[in-house]
Amino acid sequence: MTLNDEYESENPHGDTQRRRFSPETRTTTRIESSTELTILVTTMQMMAQLLERQMGVPGNSVNGANENATIQITTMPDLTATLLTFSGTDNDSLNEWVTSVENMRERCSWNDMATLNAGISRLRGRAAAWHRMDGVNLKDWHTWVAALRKEFDKQPLFCEWVKSVNARRQKDDENITDYMYSRLQRIKRGKYALSDDDIVDWLIQGVRSETAKPMLAAFHDLRKGRVSDFISYARQFDRRTTSTRGEITSVKPSPRDSSARIETANSTAKGDHQPSKPTRISADTCARCLQRGHRTKDCTKPDTRTEEEKAAAAKRREERAAREQRTHRIDATD
């Protein structure tokens, strides 16, 4: 008795299950799976051959298809947005901008056309207007850059160069090192010969902190090194300043303690400096010599009071006379 006969004797009504587990059904399933696998392998081989033709890799003419060949495809993100922009103004450096584009070209393996398109996309202002008028007809990167240099890489006048350098000062939220690098770029745009001492003095002029200026100048006077050595010291100075600010911030008292301390100080100040009340002079005391027994109008000593003091005394006399008159009226009424 076979396995199917035994199964039929135990399951007389299992026609559907017999068909599902019959040898013919298993054979059909294996054929369909083999067909799908063959189609998948064929598709992958066709894609590999297509990539080889596009990449210029010759196929294996002996074996027909190079099944053992490994194809590596490397993709890189679009880094065009990280490039510097160039507007053609006096504050822009054409050499720095061209260098940044060519460095990105080497990193991303751009061809000549891709480099040209990347450079065009980073133009702004008058530089972009120049490209729309003149540079649009240039299809080679090196030719295009040469024309761009001819238009914008011009020697600035001495007065314009000095004005541009002096205009670059340290900002409120900027450390000394970043400021010095930025100002040094403007200094190097001029083709004038400056010594390291002149450049360092020019860098110190734009520092905001009046406390840091003499310290930076003293360091350079002692060392007399190159500009790079001076900027290295400025970097160390920034680190020390940042760490000192962090320590001060960590021990800063809370606002509640500060307000309580201020209130205590105010209360103490009020207690120590209470306003003195004016001393009232009796009726039989002279306001001029402060002696009892006579009034001011009967005093024989010279009057040395100022006009303001005399006016105040006259006002007091009038008020006293008014009070005495009211007192007499009340007494008469009674």
Q: Where are the domains of the chain?
A: 3-55, 83-152, 158-249
Q: Within 10 Å of residue 217's Cβ, how many Cβ atoms?
A: 14
- DSSP one-letter code for 137: G
Instruction: Give me the pLDDT at residue 80, please.
Output: 80
Per-residue confidence (pLDDT) for residue 55, from 0 to 100: 66
Rounded Cα–Cα distance for residues 172 and 170 (Å): 7
pLDDT value of residue 42: 75
Distance of CA 320 to the CA centre of its chain: 73
In the prediction, which pLDDT does 247 show? 57
- Maximal CA-CA distance, the chain: 159
As assigned by CATH, the class of the 158-249 domain is mainly alpha
CA distance 97 to 85: 7
Mean per-residue pLDDT pooled into runs of 10, the chain (334 residues): 49 49 51 64 77 62 51 63 86 85 89 91 92 92 92 81 89 91 86 87 91 89 86 90 66 54 52 51 68 72 75 80 74 60
Residue whose tokens read 């303690």: 257
Q: Pick from 99, 97, 103: which is nearest to 85 by CA? A: 97
- pTM here is 0.42
CA–CA dist 305, 212 (Å, integer): 56
pLDDT at residue number 65: 47
In 158-223, where does DSSP find H-type helix?
158-167, 176-189, 196-205, 212-223
Query: What pLDDT sits at residue 256?
Result: 57
pLDDT confidence of residue 132: 93
pLDDT at 16: 47
**pLDDT score for 242:** 80
| List of residues 6+ apart from 49 with CB closer than 8 A | 59, 65
Token match 């450079």: residue? Answer: 119
Evaluate whether 190 touches 156 at the Cβ level (below 8 Å): yes
Provide the pLDDT for residue 306.
77
CB 164 within 8 A of CB 91: yes
